[in-house]
Amino acid sequence: MSTNLDYLRPFERRVVAMRREGVPIDEIAQRFRRSPEHVRRVLQWTTIPRNGPPKRITPPPIERRVVAMRVAGEPYEQIAARLRRRPDSIRQIEGLTYFLRGVTQTVFDGGRELLSQNAADARLRSRAAAGSGEKLHKEGTDV
Please work out, in degrees rounded to the nearest 5, the angle formed at the alpha carbon of residue 113 by the alpha carbons of 100 and 98.
Answer: 5
**Other CB atoms within 10 Å distance of the CB of residue 97:** 19
pTM over 0.85: no
Q: Where are the domains of the chain?
A: 10-45, 61-129
Please give the mean pLDDT across all residues of the chain: 78
Calpha distance 39→30 (Å, rounded): 10
How many contiguous H segments (helices) and E segments (strands) does the chain have? 7, 0
pLDDT tens by residue, 84-102: 999 999 999 998 888 877 6
Please work out, in degrees rounded to the nearest 5, the angle formed at the alpha carbon of residue 96 by the alpha carbons of 12 and 72.
Answer: 140
pLDDT tens by residue, 58-80: 778 898 899 889 989 999 999 99
